[in-house]
């Protein structure tokens, strides 16, 4: 499952956009154009979701440039969101017309950015008259989205679209294949039945907002397994929903990027268009550590120190890790391969357990004996899941606990309906934003690993 970044949570760190009364504005060191590289290389996330408020005053040239930088950073723009509720259900015709125009502009900007979707919240009271008006005013926006080969997603907000059954009814009445939902963890947690909320809306979603708020500083999942927070499933009001069986496929694909014409795949891809984002692509490499037939030579003693670290770093990069993480892995495990099955885990991460380190070492050593072209395909992504766990703080038993609501329960509810699309990470808490995003990433990855382990 692809983890992406909701760029709106970085607003206090972006020069010219941070609120003057926000104390974090003193740390505003990013330019808008730096977001893709920052998300990919610093935060370890592989997609970007932009909000319209970050693009105020931007012209087409700026949007084109941002899309190009995102593509080069391998952090494609997937979604453009309008955060301000639009008066599409208003009895004031002039106000509603402005809302329709705004929705159409959001669609146009999303296409320039190479997004596959755009989202808007629909403002209005929950009565039948407002409901009928919203249907008629959404139709031209959906038609615009279909023309641009995009999907329009309905963001949750109070009033007309606060109840999941109301949202699904709205989608059916508007009609077409280019309208869907954008479920949000925080909004779901505020409902009477969070799991039920996600269960109802996720089948219509092409992306889910994995919003987070605060973390328990007093402990980790290993000290609170099975309780509240992300440490246990924590289902309330009944048993966990049964999961729908996933359909086997030849493998998930990374998100495609688009131009104003037809979709264009990222550099180095096979040109196939993907409707949903998947695991990071696997690159091919040649050279160091191979035998005459192109396979890694296991008859020779495994090199120690820098040579082995380099091989492991190359292997880690092969299966989609960022350069910084791959290098950290190689340096941490390199000296131990061929010498001992029990590497010192402290050099990898303070929160990486010895058991996980042993397991990774065994898998990596085995992989080094296989042909140079390394595959991660279909549902056989066990190694990818293990490699995800080496990112700082992602030991499943030692990941941060989300205190505001149960992340694992919400993830269980979307797995139950067979969802395997992108999760956009949106940290909405205070304090150090980058640290909050990393904790969110770690908590989500640990919860995903536990859920995958039970499937």
d(CA 97, CA 413): 37
Residue 361's pLDDT is what?
A: 55
Q: Sketch the domain layout of the chain as residue ranges.
A: 3-257+392-454, 283-374
The three-point CA angle 224-230-234 to 5° equals 85
Contacts of 255 (CB under 8 A, 6+ apart): 2, 47, 76, 78, 116, 274, 276, 277, 422
Task: Supply φ then ψ for residue 427, to 5 degrees.
Answer: -80, 120
Residue 332, classed as helix, strand or coil, is helix
Q: What is the pLDDT of residue 418?
A: 94
How many CB atoms neighbour CB 431 within 10 A?
11
Q: List average pLDDT for each run of 10 residues in the chain, which is 455 residues long.
A: 93 80 73 93 94 94 96 96 96 97 97 97 96 97 97 96 96 95 97 96 97 80 39 35 41 39 35 35 38 40 44 48 43 40 35 45 55 41 41 60 95 95 95 92 92 76
CB 310 within 8 A of CB 330: yes
How long, in residues, is the chain?
Answer: 455
Give 294-327 as a DSSP string: SBB--SSPPP-HHHHHHHHHHHHHHTT--HHHHH
Alpha helices in 305-421 (DSSP H): 305-318, 323-333, 354-368, 382-388, 407-415
283 Cβ partners below 8 Å, 6+ apart?
A: 268, 317, 318
Residue with tokens 């125009």: 101
Q: What is the pLDDT of residue 336?
A: 38
Could you tell me the fold of the domain covering 3-257+392-454? Answer: TIM Barrel (3.20.20)
pLDDT digits (tens, 9 = 90+) for 300-310: 333 444 444 45
- What digits encode the pLDDT tens for the residues 381-396? 443 444 443 344 455 5
Reduced to 3 states, what is the DSSP secondary structure of residue 82? coil
- CA dist 385 and 376 (Å) reads 11
- DSSP structure string for 260-302: SSSEEPPTTS-----SS--SPPPPP--STTB-TTSBB--SSPP
Strands (DSSP E) along 127-286, which ranges? 151-155, 179-181, 208-212, 215-220, 257-258, 263-264
**Separation of alpha carbons 201 and 204, rounded Å:** 6
pLDDT digits (tens, 9 = 90+) for 56-82: 989 999 999 999 999 999 999 999 999
Report the first-to-last Cα separation within the chain, whole angstroms.
14
């Amino acid at each position: 499952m692809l983890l992406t970044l909701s760029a709106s949570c970085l607003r206090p760190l972006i020069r010219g956009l941070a609120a003057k009364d926000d104390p974090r504005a003193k740390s505003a060191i990013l330019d808008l154009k730096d977001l893709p590289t920052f998300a990919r290389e610093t935060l370890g996330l592989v997609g970007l979701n932009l909000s319209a408020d970050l693009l105020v005053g931007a012209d087409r040239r700026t949007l084109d440039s941002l899309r190009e930088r995102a593509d080069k950073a391998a952090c494609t723009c997937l979604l453009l969101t309008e955060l301000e509720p639009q008066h599409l259900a208003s009895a004031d015709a002039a106000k509603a017309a402005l809302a329709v125009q705004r929705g159409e502009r959001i669609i146009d900007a999303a296409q320039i950015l190479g997004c596959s979707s755009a989202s808007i919240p629909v403002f209005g009271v929950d009565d039948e008259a407002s409901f009928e008006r919203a249907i008629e005013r959404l139709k031209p926006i959906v038609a615009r989205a279909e023309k641009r080969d995009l999907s329009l997603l309905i963001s949750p907000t109070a009033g007309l679209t606060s109840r999941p059954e109301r949202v699904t009814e709205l989608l059916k009445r508007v009609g077409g294949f280019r309208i869907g939902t954008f479920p949000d963890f925080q909004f779901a947690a505020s409902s009477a039945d969070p799991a039920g909320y996600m269960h109802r809306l996720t089948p219509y979603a092409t992306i889910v907002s994995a919003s987070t708020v605060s973390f328990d500083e007093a402990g980790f999942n290993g000290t609170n397994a099975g309780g509240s927070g992300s440490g246990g499933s924590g289902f309330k009001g009944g048993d966990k929903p049964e999961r729908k069986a996933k359909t086997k496929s030849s493998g998930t694909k990374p998100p495609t990027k688009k131009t104003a014409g037809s979709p264009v795949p990222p550099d180095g891809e096979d040109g196939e268009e993907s409707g949903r984002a998947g695991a990071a692509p696997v690159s091919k490499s040649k050279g160091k550590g191979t035998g005459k037939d192109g396979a890694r030579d296991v008859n020779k003693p495994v090199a120690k120190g820098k040579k082995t670290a380099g091989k492991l770093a190359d292997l880690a990069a092969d299966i989609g890790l960022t350069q910084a993480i791959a290098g950290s892995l190689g340096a941490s495990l390199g000296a131990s391969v061929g010498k001992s099955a029990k590497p010192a885990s402290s050099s990898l991460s303070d929160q990486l357990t010895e058991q996980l380190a042993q397991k990774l070492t065994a898998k990596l050593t085995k992989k080094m004996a296989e042909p140079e072209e390394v595959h991660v395909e279909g549902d056989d992504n066990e190694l990818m899941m293990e490699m995800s766990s080496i990112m700082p703080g992602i030991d499943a038993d030692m990941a941060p606990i989300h205190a505001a609501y149960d992340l694992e329960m919400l993830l269980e509810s979307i797995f139950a309906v067979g969802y395997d699309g992108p999760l956009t990470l949106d940290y909405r808490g205070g304090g150090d934003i980058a640290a909050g995003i990393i904790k969110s990433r770690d908590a989500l990855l640990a919860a995903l690993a536990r859920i995958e382990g039970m499937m």
